[in-house]
Chain A
Amino acid sequence: MKLALRELRRRPNRFAVATVVLSLIALLLMFLGGLLDGLTAGSTGALRAQQADLIVYSATSDESLERSRLTPEIRAGVESVAGEDAVGGLGTVQLGARLDGRDARDLVPVVLIGYETAPRGLPDEVPGEGEVYADESLRAEGVEEGTTVQLGPARTEVEVIGFLDDSRYSGQGTLWGSLDTWRETVAENRPGEQAGEGVVQALVVQAGDADPAALATEIDEATDGATSTVTVQGAIDALPGVDQQQQVFNQIIGVTVLIAIVVVALFFALITVERTALYGVLKAVGASSLYLFAGVLLQALVVTLLAATVGIAASLAVDALLPAGGIPFVVQPARLIGSVGYLLLAAVIGCALSLRRVLRVDPASAIGG
């Protein structure tokens, strides 16, 4: 082991290019993962923020908030099963937001969400009419507490009274207000989408002690099939593209890990070939194959850890340098740790391909046998 570490210290140049290549692969892995996390977070934040177990959509909406409409009669049916206090209405509308000091054509895309049950990070009391909480991401656009935002072509004014974190929806920053604020804003700006009195797009339901799956079935039965009730995770999975997006990115990440395995295997196979004679001598003086392979493995792990560190630093730099609203890239510790894990696994597997060569070294070759 000491020998392997000493070689790394004394001949760092030999491992430099491999470290650079693996660093690039590490950055690629982390960038791909960060992109996937950014896309997912940007699409699902508003749903993940719900402090509820179930979301009720109209049966014909295909679990799409935009296409779902629930009348007061349907709501009564839901409340008869889940209880009035456990049910809250939800409505969304995507609009352009105008901010003071910006060009007339320079709008910020936002989603106004009307709610009754407070999402994570907001007080239970719903804001007053014309007041909204804003997603933290909107700070990058210059939104601050007290900012008046003009929404849509009707320039409906809402005032920002606070912020909440990680609540983006459809890749856009969100504003959270009362259902009345939502209803009025829609009526003024989107006559084609306006909702009647008491109509909401969806209902969020807190299951309490009840089994969420059983409660969902009960709700749909109580409304005579007019609703489609799913868990919050079910609602996230139903968002168009989220599932496919994750599949495609995970496949690309998988092939990138495969490339890392091949690169490690290639590099350490070359190093092992170069050291065949040396291994013969070491075996002749009593070193076991296991000891020699452990040295190769240790070097591979050190090089990979170094590359992973460079990759993490580069990812953090990319995150800091990317302009807000550009590439949806998010750095998450879990993703970074996972990527390092994949790389270490690739190092072990790649290295294992050199094991056969180490085992085959004949100590007799040291004396010309």
Chain B
Amino acid sequence: MFLALREMRRAKARFGLLMAAVALLVFLILVQQALQASLITSFVGAIERQSAPVLVFSVDGQRALQGSAISPELEEAVRAVPEVAESGRIGQGTFTVEVEGGGDAASGSNGSEAAIIGYEADDLGAPDELSEGRLPEAEGEAVGSAGDFEVGDTVQVVAGDEGPELTVVGLAEDAQIQVSPTLFVAWPDYEAAALADNPDASTIPPSVIGVRPADGVTDEQLTDRINAVDDEADALTRAEAAEEAPGVGEVRMSFQVIFLLFALVVPLVSGLFFLIVTFQKSRSLTLLRAVGASGGVLVRSLLVQVVLVIGGGLLIGTALYALLTLVEVGSLTLRFDIAAVAVWSGLLLLLGLVSALVSARQVLAIDPVEATTGGGVR
């Protein structure tokens, strides 16, 4: 232990470089973990946040809120399913808006973009939880995604014809969709915005139908039942709708490949380092064995160094990550995820120790007799 620490003090540059490499890798892994979470929340947060337990898309919508359009026939068929206790229209579109007020969406006042989600019933489409303010009670009122809007902001939908003006009366956390500032409004306001945006539209169909199951029917049973009734219906629970939205799977898969590669680099770098260092110290280690130091003591010394270097790297990497979460990265908010830090710390420490086993094997293979002949590690 004493030797391990002294060696690290005397070879600061070498151990420092390794710690820096581990710290950079940890920093990148944690930032990318946070980016993945933030990206997915920005893609589908509004779906997770809205209150309808089951959403019925049209099969043609490919599980994208904006891509789905419910025909009157499909709407009627869904409402007629006996297991449906309550149903309501939900529509979504992206519009050019001008925002006045203190929210971030106001900073690019002249023509920024916002998604508008319109719903018929509060408990089938409105945000299930507000961080501030209240739900809309009259036409012209909206709940905005927190971070983009502030209560009191006014939002003018800019379109070919005059669009509605909305006042933000409440805020919901993690309620974006398609990485855009998002507003939840009553159905008539959504319809007015869509008609102003496209005066040629003959009708404004709902994007999805929000439904609530009757007593004794689970959400999953209801989705099966609706899907069995009509081939055009694609009913999903709220969690499924968020998880299976276009792009979410690809984002997860891409990041998993990146994480796998980074997770391989950390133990390989530290394993390589300690292997070379062990070879370089072979004469000294042989002498130590010859004067009575046991193999166990030397291996423990090696493992202490591994833990200190990787632990140090984890601390520095986590500190850098924590600093980055204090600033905004583009339109994304990176959150400090303590669970991710814990999981990656445990995993990287374990992988680092496993990678040091090759060096430990070399240490244990030292024959003290070789000290009399000048040999060492075999």
State the A residues within 8 Å of B (CB). Answer: 17-18, 20-21, 24-25, 27-28, 31-32, 35, 58, 60-62, 64, 66-67, 69, 94-96, 104-105, 107, 109, 152-153, 171, 189-196, 199, 240-241, 244, 247-248, 252, 255-256, 258-259, 262-263, 265-267, 269-271, 273-274, 326-329
Whether B201 and A193, one on each chain, are in contact in the complex, defined by CB atoms closer than 8 angstroms, is yes
Starting from the known contacts A194-B202, A262-B20, 5 additional A-B residue pairs (CB-CB under 8 Å) come to A109-B67, A189-B60, A196-B200, A244-B331, A266-B269
Contacts of B247 in A (CB 8 A): 171
- CA A258 – CA B113 in complex, angstroms? 36
Contacts of A32 in B (CB 8 A): 258
Pick the contact of B24: A64, A109, A258, A267 (CB < 8 A). A258
Contacts of B61 in A (CB 8 A): 96
B223 shortest CB reach to chain A, Å: 13
Contacts of A240 in B (CB 8 A): 113, 178-180
Q: B13 — nearest CB in chain A belongs to which residue?
A: A269
Whether A60 and B96, one on each chain, are in contact in the complex, defined by CB atoms closer than 8 angstroms, is yes
- CA A109 – CA B63 in complex, angstroms? 10
Contacts of A194 in B (CB 8 A): 198, 200-202
Whether B330 and A27, one on each chain, are in contact in the complex, defined by CB atoms closer than 8 angstroms, is no
In the complex with contacts A67-B94, A247-B330, A327-B257, A107-B60 CB distance below 8 A? yes
- CA A67 – CA B95 in complex, angstroms? 7
Q: A245 — nearest CB in chain B belongs to which residue?
A: B330
Which residue among B62, B203, B246 has the maximum number of chain A CB atoms within 10 Å of its CB? Answer: B62
Whether B60 and A193, one on each chain, are in contact in the complex, defined by CB atoms closer than 8 angstroms, is no
Whether B198 and A69, one on each chain, are in contact in the complex, defined by CB atoms closer than 8 angstroms, is yes
Contacts of B179 in A (CB 8 A): 240-241
Q: Which 6 A-B pairs have the closest CB atoms?
A: A96-B60, A244-B330, A262-B21, A196-B200, A17-B272, A266-B17
Contacts of B276 in A (CB 8 A): 267, 270-271, 274
Whether B200 and A24, one on each chain, are in contact in the complex, defined by CB atoms closer than 8 angstroms, is no
- CA A269 – CA B21 in complex, angstroms? 14
Whether B272 and A191, one on each chain, are in contact in the complex, defined by CB atoms closer than 8 angstroms, is no
- CA A327 – CA B253 in complex, angstroms? 7
Scan residues 106-123 of chain B and give those whose CB is less than 8 A from a CB of chain A.
Answer: 111-113
State the B residues within 8 Å of A (CB). Answer: 13-14, 17-18, 20-21, 24-25, 27-28, 31-32, 35, 58-62, 64, 67, 69, 71, 94-96, 111-113, 158-160, 178-180, 194, 197-198, 200-205, 231-232, 234, 246-247, 250, 253-254, 257-258, 261-262, 264-265, 268-269, 271-273, 275-277, 279-280, 329-332
- CA A189 – CA B21 in complex, angstroms? 55
In the complex with contacts A17-B272, A189-B60, A69-B234 CB distance below 8 A? no
Q: A20 — nearest CB in chain B belongs to which residue?
A: B268
Whether A69 and B160, one on each chain, are in contact in the complex, defined by CB atoms closer than 8 angstroms, is yes
Whether B14 and A269, one on each chain, are in contact in the complex, defined by CB atoms closer than 8 angstroms, is yes
Contacts of A244 in B (CB 8 A): 330-332
- CA A159 – CA B125 in complex, angstroms? 39
Q: B191 — nearest CB in chain A belongs to which residue?
A: A192
Provide a sorted-by-A list of 24 A–B residue pairs whose CB atoms are within 8 angstroms.
A17-B275, A20-B268, A25-B265, A61-B96, A62-B112, A67-B96, A67-B197, A96-B67, A105-B59, A107-B62, A153-B58, A189-B69, A193-B201, A244-B330, A252-B28, A259-B21, A259-B28, A265-B17, A266-B21, A273-B280, A274-B280, A327-B250, A327-B257, A328-B250
Pick the contact of B262: A28, A69, A196 (CB < 8 A). A28
Contacts of A152 in B (CB 8 A): 60
Contacts of A266 in B (CB 8 A): 14, 17-18, 21, 269, 273
- CA A256 – CA B69 in complex, angstroms? 43
Pick the contact of A273: B14, B28, B253 (CB < 8 A). B14
Whether B158 and A24, one on each chain, are in contact in the complex, defined by CB atoms closer than 8 angstroms, is no
- CA A328 – CA B94 in complex, angstroms? 25
In the complex with contacts A96-B61, A192-B204, A266-B14, A252-B69 CB distance below 8 A? no
- CA A116 – CA B179 in complex, angstroms? 32
Whether A153 and B69, one on each chain, are in contact in the complex, defined by CB atoms closer than 8 angstroms, is yes
A303 shortest CB reach to chain B, Å: 12
Q: A258 — nearest CB in chain B belongs to which residue?
A: B24
Pick the contact of A248: B35, B178, B198 (CB < 8 A). B35
Contacts of A328 in B (CB 8 A): 250, 254
Which residue among A18, A104, A153 has the maximum number of chain B CB atoms within 10 Å of its CB? Answer: A153
Whether A17 and B268, one on each chain, are in contact in the complex, defined by CB atoms closer than 8 angstroms, is yes
